[in-house]
A = this chain, B = another copy of it.
Amino acid sequence: MNTMVRSASRAADALRPVRITRHYTMHAEGSVLIEFGNTKVLCTASVEEKVPPHKRGSGEGWVTAEYGMLPRATHSRSDREAARGKQTGRTQEIQRLIGRSLRAVFDLKKLGERTIQLDCDVIQADGGTRTAAITGAFVAAQDAVNGLLAAGKITETPITAAVAAISVGIVDGRPLLDLEYTEDSACDTDMNVVMTGAGHFVEVQGTAEGVAFTRAEMDQLLTLAEKGVGELMLLQQQALSK
C-alpha cells in the first residue's frame, strides 16, 4: 500500500537498535526490559518451588510463559483481556511459542522440581513483540538460573544453549530483517525464526499474508534470520556480562 522506507535509513539486513536492560523491576528473580527499536517488552522470570501436575514427582522442573499486551501498547487501544474474560487466540499462540522456545534450551532434570515462569508484557508495540519477548526472556531466565546457582539450590546450570528469535519478511518483493509494524502490515510473507547458540533451529513459522512464497524466498529469509539471531546472541552475552 505505502512505499515502505525503513525508518532511519536502516539497511534491509539490519536490526533495529536493540537495548537490553537487566534488573528493570525489583521483585522478580530475573527482570529484563528489551527494546527492538520502539518495541518494548518487559520480561520477568519468577522461580516457584512447585511444578504443574504433569511433572509432580518426576524429579523434573518446568519452564513456561505468559504473554500480554498493555491495552494502549498499540496504535489504537485494544480491549484488556482480563476485562474481556479471556485471552485471544493470538495471545495463546504467542505464549505457547515463547514457552516451547525456552524449554528447548533447558534440561528440566537439572532444574529440579521447580518452575521458571516467564512473563512477557508488551509496554509498547511496533512489530516483533514475540521475537523480542523470546530474546529478552532468555536473559531473564539466565538471571533466575544464576540466582539458583548462587543460592546453592542447583549445582549445575540447566541451560544448554542460548536462544533468541527474529522476524524476517518479504515486503514489496524485498527480504527484510526485523520488521517494524508498518512493514509487518505491508508484507507478503512473515516469518519468525527461533534459533539456539549452536545455530540450529528451534522454531520456524512462516506465513504468507498475501502471495504464497517460493522455496528460493524461504532460503533467503532463513539466511537473513541466521544473521539477525547471531547478532542478537552477542547482545545477550554483552548484557549478561555486565
Contacts and interface: CB of A to CB of B under 8 A. Distances in A.
Interface of A: 25-28, 31, 38, 40, 42, 44, 46, 48, 66, 68, 70-77, 80-87, 89-93, 95-96, 100, 104, 117, 119, 121, 123-125, 161, 191, 195-196, 198-208, 211-215, 218, 222, 226
Given A202-B212, A208-B202, A212-B198, A86 B93 contact: no
Contacts of A100: 207
A44 B72 contact: yes
30 contacts: A26-B38, A27-B125, A28-B77, A42-B123, A46-B72, A66-B83, A68-B70, A68-B82, A72-B119, A77-B119, A82-B87, A83-B87, A89-B89, A89-B92, A89-B95, A89-B96, A100-B207, A104-B208, A123-B123, A191-B204, A198-B212, A199-B214, A200-B212, A200-B213, A201-B213, A202-B207, A202-B208, A202-B212, A203-B206, A205-B206
A198 B83 CA distance: 34
The 3 closest A-B pairs by CB, nearest first: A200-B212, A81-B82, A89-B92
